[in-house]
Amino acid sequence: MNEKVAMVKTAGNDAVPLRDAVQRALDLLDSPLKGVGPGNCVVIKPNITADSISWRQGIVTNPNLVHAIIELVAERNPREILIAEGIAVGQDVKKAYSFLGYDKIAGATGARLVDLYDEAFVDIPITGSNLHSTMQIAKTIMEADFLINVPVMKTHVAVGISVCMKNLMGTISAEQKKKFHFFGVAESVVDLNLVVRPHLSIADGTVAGEGDGPMANDPVGFQTILVGTDNRLVDTICARVMGFEPSEIEILKICNDRWGALPAADIEVVGEATSQTVRPFKHAAECVKPPQGVECTEGGACAACTGAIELALARARQMDILEQLKPLRIVCGPDSSPPGTGENVLVVGKCLSHLKETGNFVPGCPPQVFLIADELREMAGIDRIFGCKDGYNF
């Protein structure tokens, strides 16, 4: 195989230094953009997980990096350049495009913004999967002449890290996302990567995210991009520089189990040396069983809900309020029954909004960690930090 990954430090977070950094990385890889020609449709897939969180938080892709990539792609005279995202369920990508300034970038460059949920999805057969026979993938993605994957580097509570392979979850339908959560995200993401094969992946570590990802990371001014043409390989190097053994990352472990570990001779990192770049990232809170005195009913809940509850419980423990809330009963997931009433009943997630009168209710789909933690604070008689929850009824 012998694929290369280019690792390049950036001199700033604006489009000009980032354009220089991407160009240096592409030069180290023998210019993969030469695969773009006149008449081509080039699709850029950033990671826009949330609609109202600054890219400076290390949770969504830096829009200035996408701007820099568009300028370099435009030199190849493609027919059109699209920025396309199918955001997390419950968020609004049009709002995100405006909040993050992608609309201004589109206006300045002529690129077109696409909400993949407005477009058609096609059923693509999957061979070699134990879970899926087909997957609903956006037609725009499948028909791209050249697909560029631009994930942010961040830690993630359910899968360890979320970079190139995981970012492709934004190419599938909302219904398919729910199936991923039902069948298991890590294995489903590996299957998805069998059929969506970006021509180029540029991992955004300008501002990366550590800790409670995917939605509550702390920013890391990492000032690095990692570029390659093989998602698994770029993720393997990202894992290493983030201080993980690749075998600790569930998605990469599944790849190793299916196809064997990548031989060291097949991994060539050009540019910065991995050993000089390693910066251990704080892990997302480990998936923990509810502590004694806390009972959690997960009636078919998505991992996004259960992960958010686990993180919020970890925060409640840090705040020393968990003991006083016991016995605490938490209910989530569409199949949960009414939990009865009581001061220490917490009902979580939009799919249980019909039960909101039965206990302390947290809206959202998926619900935000900070809102669940705020609800626990209020139940413990402490003021909320983030204000009223009513605006989160998505």
Residues that bind ligand SF4 (CB under 6 A): 301-302, 304-305, 332-334, 349-351, 365-366
Looking at beta carbons only, is 168 or 301 nearer to ligand SF4?
Answer: 301
Shortest distance, CB of residue 254 to ligand SF4, whole angstroms? 23
Q: Where does the chain show beta strands of DSSP type E? A: 3-9, 41-46, 80-85, 112-115, 121-125, 134-138, 146-150, 152-156, 160-162, 200-212, 216-220, 224-228, 267-271, 294-298, 328-332, 345-348, 360-362
| CB proximity list for 113: less than 8 A, separation 6 or greater | 82, 83, 94, 97, 102, 103, 106
d(CA 372, CA 361): 9
Looking at beta carbons only, is 5 or 172 nearer to ligand SF4?
Answer: 172
Shortest distance, CB of residue 295 to ligand SF4, whole angstroms? 17
Strand 112-115 to strand 160-162: parallel, antiparallel, or no bridges (unpaired)?
unpaired
Contacts 24+ apart (CB under 8 A), 305-309: 305/332, 305/333, 305/348, 305/349, 305/366, 305/367, 306/332, 307/157, 307/158, 308/215, 308/348, 308/366, 308/367, 308/368, 308/369, 308/372, 309/348, 309/372
Looking at beta carbons only, is 179 or 199 nearer to ligand SF4?
Answer: 179
Shortest distance, CB of residue 308 to ligand SF4, whole angstroms? 8
Looking at beta carbons only, is 124 or 185 nearer to ligand SF4?
Answer: 185
Shortest distance, CB of residue 331 to ligand SF4, whole angstroms? 11
Looking at beta carbons only, is 7 or 365 nearer to ligand SF4?
Answer: 365
Shortest distance, CB of residue 184 to ligand SF4, whole angstroms? 15
Looking at beta carbons only, is 58 or 333 nearer to ligand SF4?
Answer: 333
User: What letter does residue 172 receive in the DSSP assignment?
Assistant: B
Shortest distance, CB of residue 365 to ligand SF4, whole angstroms? 3
